[in-house]
Structure 1
Amino acid sequence: MKNDQVVTGGPCWVELGSADPAAAAAFYRELFGWRAETDPRPEAGGYTMLLLDGAPVAALTPLYAPGQPTAWSVSFAVTDTDATAAAVTAAGGQVVTGPMDVFDAGRFAVVADPARAVFALWQPRRFGGAAVFNRPGSLGWVELLTRDVPGALQFYPRVFGWSVAAGEWYTQWGVDGADFGGMMRLDDRVPAEVPPHWRPYFAVTDVDAVVRRAAGLGAGTLLAPMDLAGGRRIAVLSDPQGAGFGVYLAGTEG
């Protein structure tokens, strides 16, 4: 991610919905050094901030709906949640939840693109989103995995105005030319029951060491460490409850 702060239209926050928040908090504390801080208000529903050196980098929540999978979700910053939710619908997507206010922190909605990849919209008020990007232990890239690449190329630029750098195998998304994420096709090697989804990637200082540490903590490896162009090294993991996320070598963003 070439931006080191929240920009309108770009990713601003990630949340993990978990069937066992306490176990998830322990896993990510050992993996990334995150400290969990749960909102004590009953109306907050167990919402937990995950902090890196005191700075918010992600969140952890219980599962709020029957059938909700344990998974990471990505939020994008907008200036008007209601207007963007309407734009999602006009572009062929769907509003799943909201729009609604979250205390005085901001206004959000959960939406889905036409292929049913779910993501969130966040209109910041008191809370802007992650305070740190691209630093080891923080968000540095987001990736859409979908079976409908042409549809996504139509939908997301229409809703957010993203720039597109499309290659033969991979597409990169950007805001004003600063890339923050990408897109890959879910091919026949991926089981049909795996839905289109957004995946976060977190920066680390040593990809191989993090993969080994994650395995020792009960995680699985979905993609073994591999090198990409530009000195980038990545891996994709599945935490002990099955939530997928990526890690990449810090300093190789974009």
Structure 2
Amino acid sequence: MELSSLDMISGFEIDTADAKGVTDFYGQLLGWTFATEPGSGADGSTCIRITAPGAAAPMGLIRQHAAGGKEAVSLRVLSGDVAADAARLEKLGATVVAPAAPDGDQAVRARVTDPRGNVLTLVSRTGAQEAEQGGGQPQPGAFASFEIGTTDAEATRAFYAQAFGWRFEQDPGSVSTPYYSIFTGPTPTGGMYDYSAVTDGAEFAMPTFLATDVPTDVARAVSLGGAVEYGPEATTYGLVFARLTDPHGNRFGLFTMPQG
């Protein structure tokens, strides 16, 4: 089994008032390296590119904002027309929280929340953004999938199917919470947890990263100030995963592919 391209999901962003804390945590945990972009984002934030070990191009971005701003993580979705897509998503129930505007990396960017409150960053299909998808097989520490958790699976499926044409298929390998593979293209690139029957179920959209060994990496994350929210758990076909929060409360996942 091989990992596939994430198609229209081009990376992720971390909004924070403590960029040093973010780089210290993920740098030690996953071996990420960082480079500050010249200038700043359209919102005045300082932008720091994130590169996974052995990768030729960045996979994400840290946006350091002023103290008191909200800590958040968002998935970056490629768009052919950011302003038009933001308006279209708004008609489907999303909320535009930052309208389309040129950004520091010469891309056009908009920020929306889906109907469940999850943050999505729409970015234009510039050469810089497409380079972030890179090529070849991702190595441990790389952004390699994404996950959505919802207490209304039917509404979530309907929104993303209308918004981006995503397709959902139930994963029979899940051993606890019902889980759906998400197809953003011809192959599955993400997943959705169905928390409809769970008391106090979570709502989230988060990046997930390839791990060397999930239990070992989970223990390292906890020692660095993170917390375990779910797992580690294995599917019936051998994929091992866990969901955690970093010291700023942002969710992320770790997983290893089935062996053999």
User: Into which bin does the TM-score normalised by the smaller protein fall?
Assistant: 0.7 to 0.9
Matched with 1:48 is 48
Q: Is the 8 A contact 1:58 1:130 kept in 2?
A: no
- Among 186, 210, 218, the alignment partner of 2:217 is 210
What is the TM-score of this pair, normalised by structure 1? 0.86
In 2, distance between residues paired with 1:185 and 1:99? 31
Give deviations 1:133-163, integer Å, cap 9, x for gaps: 7421111111111222111121111111112
- Among 129, 134, 157, the alignment partner of 1:131 is 134
Matched with 2:25 is 27
Task: Provide closer, same or farther for how the CA distance between residues 229 and 106 of structure 1 changes in structure 2, counting only shifts above 3 A.
Answer: farther
Give deviations 1:137-190, integer Å, cap 9, x for gaps: 111111111222111121111111112214681222113331111212345443
Matched with 2:11 is 13
Cα displacement (A) at 1:42: 4.8
- The percent identity for this pair of structures is 26
What is the TM-score of this pair, normalised by structure 2? 0.84
Matched with 1:197 is 204
Task: Provide closer, same or farther for how the CA distance between residues 18 and 161 of structure 1 changes in structure 2, counting only shifts above 3 A.
Answer: same
SS at 2:127's partner residue? coil
Task: Provide closer, same or farther for how the CA distance between residues 3 and 79 of structure 1 changes in structure 2, counting only shifts above 3 A.
Answer: farther
Q: Is the 8 A contact 1:205 1:249 kept in 2?
A: yes
Larger mean Cα displacement after TM superposition, 59-68 or 223-232? 59-68
- Among 56, 59, 64, the alignment partner of 1:57 is 59
In 1, distance between residues paired with 2:200 and 2:66? 27
Aligned-residue CA RMSD (Å):
2.5
Matched with 1:83 is 84
Is 1:174 aligned with 2:183? Answer: yes
Kindly provide the amino acid, as one letter, of the partner of residue 131 in structure 1.
G
SS at 1:230's partner residue? coil
In 1, distance between residues paired with 2:248 and 2:184? 33
Specify every segment of 5 or more residues in structure 1 that has no aligned partner in the other structure, as ranges. Answer: none
Matched with 1:162 is 166
Larger mean Cα displacement after TM superposition, 129-138 or 144-153? 129-138
Cα displacement (A) at 1:202: 0.2
- Among 213, 223, 237, the alignment partner of 2:244 is 237
1:77-156 equivalent positions in 2, closer than 5 A: 77-103=78-104, 105-128=106-129, 129-131=132-134, 134-156=138-160
Q: Is the 8 A contact 2:16 2:69 kept in 1?
A: no
Task: Provide closer, same or farther for how the CA distance between residues 19 and 66 of structure 1 changes in structure 2, counting only shifts above 3 A.
Answer: closer
Kindly provide the amino acid, as one letter, of the partner of residue 34 in structure 2.
A
Specify every segment of 5 or more residues in structure 2 that has no aligned partner in the other structure, as ranges. Answer: 173-177
Larger mean Cα displacement after TM superposition, 19-28 or 98-107? 98-107
In 2, distance between residues paired with 1:182 and 1:76? 16
Give deviations 1:68-125, integer Å, cap 9, x for gaps: 2x23211111222122212212222222211111145321211122222221111121
Kindly provide the amino acid, as one letter, of the partner of residue 88 in structure 1.
L
Q: Is the 8 A contact 2:208 2:253 kept in 1?
A: yes
Kindly provide the amino acid, as one letter, of the partner of residue 172 in structure 1.
S
Kindly provide the amino acid, as one letter, of the partner of residue 209 in structure 1.
T
Task: Provide closer, same or farther for how the CA distance between residues 76 and 229 of structure 1 changes in structure 2, counting only shifts above 3 A.
Answer: farther
Cα displacement (A) at 1:250: 4.3
